[in-house]
Amino acid sequence: MTKQIAMAPGIRPMVHADLELVLAWRNHPSVQSYMYTQQAIAPKEHLQWFERTLADPRKQLLIFEPDKKPLGYVSFSELVGGGIADWGFYSAPDAPKGTGQKLGRAALDYAFMHCKFHKVCGQVLASNERSFRLHQTLGFKQEGVLRDQYFDGNRYQDVIYFGLLIQEWQSRS
């Protein structure tokens, strides 16, 4: 079952047929190393997560697909009321340079224009400099740092919190 939602250009709902591709992206070392869960995800676990998420009306799983070629994954999880959502994303490991910014713009247009979110929040591991810079480039403001919040198996890392308000996004567009 796919949620019926309005789409922004380049964004579409994730469907069962995407599971194998998204799992391969997620388990690729260049993506996996920046996830809270750094071990490889098994296909059965991935399917269970997908089906559980589809059943939750506050969560949306999306594919960034400009020109009919899947190049990234985006998720939004609306928090309790008020139009505030967390987001997560990654580009395909072999995506062309600049894909992250294009994915971010399309996803944020979707979040603010179609979902009518008031605010989108993101969390970035301190070691993920590319994601940190991308959030800043997209207009997010750093709202806080949770010191030594995440242990990756070798060391503790800070988690940086970002937020972007609808009016900030609209003023950039």
pLDDT, mean of residues 30-52:
87
3-state secondary structure of 125: strand
The arrangement of strands across the sheet holding 59-64 comes to 11-13, 59-64, 72-78, 84-91, 119-125, 156-165, 141-151
How high is the pLDDT of residue 4?
A: 42
90 or 82, which is more confident?
90
- Count Cβ atoms within 10 A of the Cβ of residue 71 and give its class: 0-12 exposed, 13-18 middle, 19 or more buried: buried
Range in 32-36, 47-51, 61-65, 119-123 with the lowest mean pLDDT: 32-36
Among the four given CATH numbers 2.60.40.10, 3.40.50.1950, 3.40.630.30, 3.40.50.1220, the one describing domain 11-172: 3.40.630.30
How high is the pLDDT of residue 22?
A: 94
Segment 96-121, tens digit of pLDDT: 999 999 999 999 999 999 999 999 99
Contacts of 68 (CB under 8 A, 6+ apart): none
Query: Domain map of the chain by residue range?
Result: 11-172
What the block records as the tokens of 127 is 């070691």
How high is the pLDDT of residue 173?
A: 63
